[in-house]
A = this chain, B = another copy of it.
Amino acid sequence: MIAPKVIVQSDDFDQSAETRKLTRGRTDIGAVATFTGLCRSEDHSLTALELEHYPGMAEAEIERSASEACQRWPIDGMTVIHRYGVIRPGEQIVLVIATSRHRDAAFDGARYVMDFLKTNAPFWKKEHRADGTPGDWVDAKESDEAAKKRWD
């Protein structure tokens, strides 16, 4: 089983560079599934999302999900990067790349990590509002809790 690469950082990331690191020089990978999560403006009501995280535990929880995915499916490479700090609409928040010989493992692996990361990784989003009023903390969604259940 491969060891996933997990990074929590404030800097932006380069999806194609990360993909290249997983595929370069290899001829056994047939499938690359990638997910990128972007910051939305909610109809221009937001100027940014501020992401708070629990250093140490954030990495540990993502790593747990990623390792479980790599055990569950024949995954050849996995990279997960999650940002924290102030992120503006249109900017990238999270990246998951899973590579495999076949597409099912790559798709399942990437989606599994996203589903568990959403509810288990200690990150919290606070809204920065365009109208200057104090922003709320984003509420957790029931649908995210439900999404985890599909892997039972």
Contact = CB atoms under 8 A, between A and B. Distances in A.
B33 A38 contact: no
B104 A147 contact: yes
Interface residues of A, number: 34
A133 interface: no
Nearest to A150: B104
Copies in the complex: 2
A147 B31 CA distance: 15
Contact of A106 (B32, B35, B101): B35
B26 A90 contact: yes
A31 to B, nearest CB: 6
A27 B15 contact: no
Contacts of A55: none
A30 B37 contact: yes
Contacts of A36: 19, 31-32, 34
Interface of A: 15-16, 19, 23, 25-41, 43-44, 89-90, 101, 103-104, 106-107, 110-111, 114, 147
